[in-house]
């Protein structure tokens, strides 16, 4: 993918539209992407002739958008890492992230992250793109991560996120026995004043809503399926700790580490609409071995 371009034929119902409105309303090209096209080496063509966004379209016109070359960050070094790829096409990549691996570089580990492993994968496969992470996971949370392979896909998937159209479900193991079969935790979350990492329930914070369903109970722990309505940092961990059921292994939020040395949290399903084919994609990732060992023998996971 040396040059990313898309071509469409103008349909009768779009006759008379100016190009800017056609791209923004019919093809969901954001204002930011249009700015990139104008100032960073992109092109707008109608019938293979350069035009501006003010061009008026006619039925049968061939509209081509050539996006600027993807520029890789000078500060992010490609690192060879084994990747577990669950889905890939020319627009999208879905990987199964292992626990203990940061999604993006951090102060703690500036040179070892999933993003850097993906960058190395791109270089090996001559994919001319930079990193566009759509859904992140905490360093010690395992499971599915959605990645866009170019800026246009990233823009479309980000809009799905805003519209709450990307659905993720998690399996978590919490300390204690939750008696009610299902429930919703609605508690606002903010950064803890004395920490750059830790979050806390704070009524001056941002709205955070977590839905859960009890799957099973084992050894004074509860296995829950979790769905997020909002996506605050550490939301699942903070919410269950706040109601008295910290995640097993989550020392930061009050969990004990005798059974696991990281939070027992795994993103096991991911569902979204493919931004170009409009196909509904549903992906599932097997539980990580440490969580599987923790809950094996239950009626759900033998």
pLDDT tens digit at each of 302 positions of the chain? 467 899 999 999 999 999 999 999 999 999 999 988 888 889 999 999 999 999 999 999 999 999 998 888 777 889 999 999 999 999 999 999 999 999 998 877 788 899 999 999 999 999 988 999 999 999 999 999 999 999 999 999 999 999 999 999 999 999 999 999 999 999 999 999 888 889 999 999 999 999 999 999 988 999 999 999 998 999 999 999 999 999 999 999 999 999 999 999 999 999 999 999 999 999 999 999 999 888 875 555 54
Where would I find the H helices in 127-278?
A: 151-162, 235-242
104, 136 contact by CB (below 8 A): yes
Confidence at residue 94, expressed as pLDDT on a 0 to 100 scale:
98
Q: Which long-range contacts (CB under 8 A, 24 or more apart) does 12-18 make?
A: 12/59, 14/57, 14/59, 15/57, 15/58, 15/59, 16/56, 16/57, 16/58, 17/56, 17/57, 18/53, 18/54, 18/55, 18/56, 18/57
The Cα–Cα gap between 247 and 127 comes to: 39
Helix (H, G, I), strand (E, B) or coil at 34: helix
The Cα–Cα gap between 269 and 60 comes to: 41
* Exposed/middle/buried for residue 164 (C-beta within 10 Å: 0-12, 13-18, 19+): exposed
185, 214 contact by CB (below 8 A): no
pTM for the model: 0.91
Residue 216 designated active-site: no
What's the N-to-C CA distance of the chain in angstroms? 44
* The token pair that represents 91 in the structure block: 């627009």
Catalytic residue among 138, 140, 286, 290: 138
Confidence at residue 302, expressed as pLDDT on a 0 to 100 scale:
46
The Cα–Cα gap between 233 and 230 comes to: 10
Residue 127 has, within 13 A of its CA and on its CB side, a CA count of 19
């Amino acid at each position: 993918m040396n040059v990313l371009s898309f071509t469409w034929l103008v349909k009768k119902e779009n006759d008379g539209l100016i190009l800017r409105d056609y791209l923004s309303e019919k093809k969901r090209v954001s204002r930011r992407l249009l700015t990139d096209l104008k100032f960073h080496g992109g092109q707008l063509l109608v019938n293979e002739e350069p035009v501006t966004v003010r061009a008026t379209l006619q039925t049968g016109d061939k509209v081509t958008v050539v996006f600027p070359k993807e520029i890789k960050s000078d500060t992010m070094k490609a690192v060879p890492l084994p990747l577990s790829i669950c889905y890939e096409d020319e627009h999208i990549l879905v990987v199964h992230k292992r626990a203990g691996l940061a999604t993006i570089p951090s102060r703690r580990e500036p040179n070892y992250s999933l993003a850097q492993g993906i960058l190395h994968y791109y270089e090996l496969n001559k994919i001319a793109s930079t990193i566009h992470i759509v859904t992140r996971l905490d360093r010690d949370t395992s499971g599915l991560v959605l990645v866009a392979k170019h800026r246009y896909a990233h823009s479309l998937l980000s809009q799905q996120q805003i519209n709450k159209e990307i659905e993720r479900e998690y399996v978590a193991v919490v300390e204690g026995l939750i008696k009610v079969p299902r429930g919703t935790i609605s508690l606002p979350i903010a950064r803890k004043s004395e920490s750059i990492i830790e979050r806390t329930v704070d009524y001056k914070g941002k709205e955070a809503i977590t839905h859960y369903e009890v799957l099973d109970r084992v050894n004074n722990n509860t296995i829950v399926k979790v769905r997020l309505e909002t996506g605050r940092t550490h939301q699942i961990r903070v919410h269950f700790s706040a109601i008295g059921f910290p995640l097993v292994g989550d020392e930061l939020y009050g969990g004990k580490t005798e059974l696991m040395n990281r939070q027992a949290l795994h993103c096991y399903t991911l569902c979204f609409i493919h931004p170009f084919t409009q196909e509904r994609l549903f992906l599932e990732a097997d539980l990580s071995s440490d969580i599987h060992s923790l809950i094996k023998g239950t009626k759900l996971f033998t």
